[in-house]
Structure 1
Amino acid sequence: MAPIKRTEIIEDGEIWPTLDVINLKWIFGQNYDNLLKFLAFNGLIKNKMKCPGCEDFMSLNKRREEVEWKCKKCEKRKSVRDGSFFSRSSLNLSKLNKNVVEELNIESTTVVSWFNNCRNECINLKEKIGGLNKMIVIDETCWLNQEHRKRKNGGETREELYFGCIEHGEGGQAIMERVEDKEMSTLLKMIEKWIEPGTLIISKDYTNYLLMEKLIPQYKHVLIRSEEITNAGSSKTVELEDGSILNINTNQCMDLWIQLRQKIVRISGTSAKFSDSYMMEALFRINAKARRENFFIKLFFRSKMIDASCLFDSEEEEDDESKKKTPEERKFIFRRELRAMLYGFGDEKQPAENTLEVLEQIVMDYIREVCRKALEVGKPNRINLEDIHYLIRRDQKKFGRVKELLSLSEELKRARKAFDDVKEI
């Protein structure tokens, strides 16, 4: 039996942000489906559509890159823009963005600077990967960079060396960095910089890798063995400490190099000083996709540039020497832990023990309590409880995301401690 198609853009009980300047900035980071829900919730497009022929409610139907209304009986179609402000416009997203830039009187250099800042943040937000009970495949690659010249004798070529590592398995996080050479000292420096101690490192049997475990004993190391199988190509395996054999798919690293290499090809001609930032943006997107996170939301809320004024009154408060922490320090703790509650950015070493329903109720009760206190501390119009409720349940189809928002008992303890720290502000 074919699944029943939806006849509404937003279902009963769904809560979406109201239309204001702050949420307009937020909506830029959403996908097409969420944009439709945002517009329907705020009455900018119709949430339901009746067929002009049989007067039955039409169903949502995906067509090309957009969504339309379609009647199952009459086969009639209508655009989701029908009867709205957008009904006379057929502009695609790129043209709409251009219109926004022109109408807001934003200089093109300002737009470029903004995206440069975003890419630079991608560089700053790299974190160590791996840890206990995790396996990481390391590799290195060399790309030839063509320096284009106007002279007739052609351009000069130079090697670009990169060190990379990726967590073994689905959803693995990756790291890549440009290096000057292939020396053993450089390799060890990269491993200690980007890989957590206790990680099992898997590598090819290159000469530089053979003495790795002796030189950095805080890591475990195994080599990939390649065996030719008759009529079946080659098999790549590693032997673990317990004697078990693990099949290794080295295509993970190869896919990573290919995706990043494609980025270099697309930005051909870009200034060399910006090339690394473009690469880090591509890597940041790959990692966000592996974690099934929204790239822009992840970047914005993990950025060190976040301002506390979105939650608190910007006016300075009087210092109290009797308190262990200053009000500004408490605001910082509050903001950090609230972000951890909302977006699930924190330690992931321990799995959740609570069921989804219990965990969701804990999160919702705590968010209401935090928002009530934040409203008492800051300006009442700075926080909308319905908006916070939406952030927790913003994806009805992937309800498992709630579990990811706060999956650790330790995170709950830290968040409650942060709440206690700001009670007296």
Structure 2
Amino acid sequence: MKQLLFPNNAQFWYETLRSMSHIAYGGADFGEVVSTAARITEDDYDSWYTEWFATADRVSSEAETALAAGHPISARDGFLRASNYYRSAEFFLHSKECDPRHDHAYDRSVECFRAAAALYTTPRIEPVQIPYEGTTLPGYLYRADDSGTPRPTVIMHNGFDGTAEEMHFFGAPAAIERGYTVLVFDGPGMPGPRHHQGLVFRPDWENVITPVIDFAETIPEVDNSRIALLGLSMGGVLAPRAAAFEHRLAALIAVDGLYDLGELSVRNIPGTREEAERLLRAASASELDAAFEQAMAHDPIARWAVNHGMYVMGVDTPRAFNASYLDYTLTGGIAEKIQCPTLVCDAEEDIFFKGQPEQLYDHLTCPKTLMEFTTEEGAGAHCHPGAMRLSIARIYNWLDDTLAATRP
């Protein structure tokens, strides 16, 4: 999709489009997004934070006023939008030396989402804590009604930089509308556990998903025989990795599919893959370190990705972040271990992971579908912002048909 704002910074434009996409499920209003973006100085992270935070404060204040005056629906809608705007405000503040403003903005995002959740009657949205290795993972349980009826269930998580709360705009209420129970959570490295518990990403995601499924199976509204897992963005490699070893899943959805993040780390390093990996993991590689610094200085996507990556991976250098990506892979026969029917989504103009969905699809030996989203449809960007109703409809149509085949 053509960059309508921030013509010289693809990352700023993508994040603006991301907020626009949340209009579809109540997470933004067009005028609020455009007016905020118009005040932002391109390439200036402080300006980005200041303007999004100001919009979030204004919208949340109006929601609080509406609630106090006895207007719960207006308050709910305002809190939802404010939650997304606070999320956007802190987006560029992460690095190995994290800006202290990011904790406050993140906490406000969660507070506003929970205020909105409490005002829903249908669906019912309940904050939950999922037991995990001596601690808990934060999440939300969406129930379609109070009947306690077991329903097909979607477990959903975000990826490299998104929140559990944001999954509301990426398909949670849409699943409820179609008769599913939904369990959304933040895993290690994702915002809740990273901000408040210091948990960083781990590649063996099956050790995250297994306790989440254990928890889901205790919920009366979950049909244990029809549990699907949906992973968004970097979740497109995490969820397939989990499904390769956790065979209680009835279906897997990768939005969009990823096969080998290490490929991104080595693609600009001369020599063979083996030589590139050795350099990335070496005790010292001054020329490579300089090359990463140069890339960050000239490429806004690299600047953000490396800074955020050091934060979520818990490492101190750009090279260490790129080395960490080598472990996030489905090579070596891992993809081939997936048994459940799998949907791999692909975006025509993905600026982050072009070509990876096809690689994952080609290596799958389970029942599989490759679903392509195009620029002409307005759905060609990574994870299809700007065409959420279209993409979610196609994804859930596939899931409806797939789980119907497993109905007792």
TM-score class normalised by the smaller sequence? under 0.3
Q: Which has the larger radius of gyration?
A: 1
- TM-score by structure 2 length? 0.21
- Asked which structure has the greater RCO (Cα within 8 Å, sep 6+), the reply is 2
More helix by share: 2
